[in-house]
Amino acid sequence: MPFTPYHMGPGLFIKSILQGSFSLIVFGWAQFIMDLQPLFVMITGEGQLHGISHTFIGATVIALFSALTGKYLSEFLLLAMGFSYKHNRVSWAVAVASAFIGTYSHVLLDSIMHADVQPFFPISLNNKFLELVPVDVLHNYCLLAGLVGLMVFGITNWRMVKKVF
């Protein structure tokens, strides 16, 4: 199912650790863009469900697009949420890193649970990550990572969180 929220769990954890050196908005935007191909296939019935978008080559292209568009999207959303101009700037380095972490983690997580993912295409059609861990364990890890990330981020940014809410 495209647009699964499980991918955001590790993103929340990474955000709690890297803070301003990581954009959760760019990361989430990259997750969304990654799953446009599977959505298209589900709607039309044409193509491979986890095709080129779920390879490391496809993820690289999507990361570059996500960084270019996500930088401006995140700055707009942060401004719309009331953050000052000083606090809504996303550097290019942060946008690029967040997009690549987003797309590569997406390929890795989906490679573990979907047999049709070929992460190393065209070099190899094998998926050595498939069933590396059971799917329920993977889902629980993603949920736990998200919960821990929210707690750490909330504790370390209590004043900012209090102001926003």
The string of pLDDT tens digits covering residues 75-109 is 999 888 887 766 678 999 999 999 999 999 999 99
Q: If pLDDT is split at 50, 70 and 90, which confidence band does 164 have? A: low
> d(Cα 159, Cα 139) in Å, to the nearest integer?
31
- Percent above pLDDT 70 for the chain: 92
- 73: CB partners within 8 A, 6+ apart: 25, 26, 29
Q: Please say if the pLDDT value at position 15 is more than 60.
A: yes
Query: In the chain, what percentage of residues exceed pLDDT 90?
Result: 79
Mean pLDDT over the full length of the chain: 91
User: Where in the chain are the domains?
Assistant: 5-164
Looking at residues 45-66, what average pLDDT do you find? 95
Q: Per-residue pLDDT for 165 more than 60?
A: no
User: DSSP string of 54-69?
Assistant: GSHHHHHHHHHHHHHH
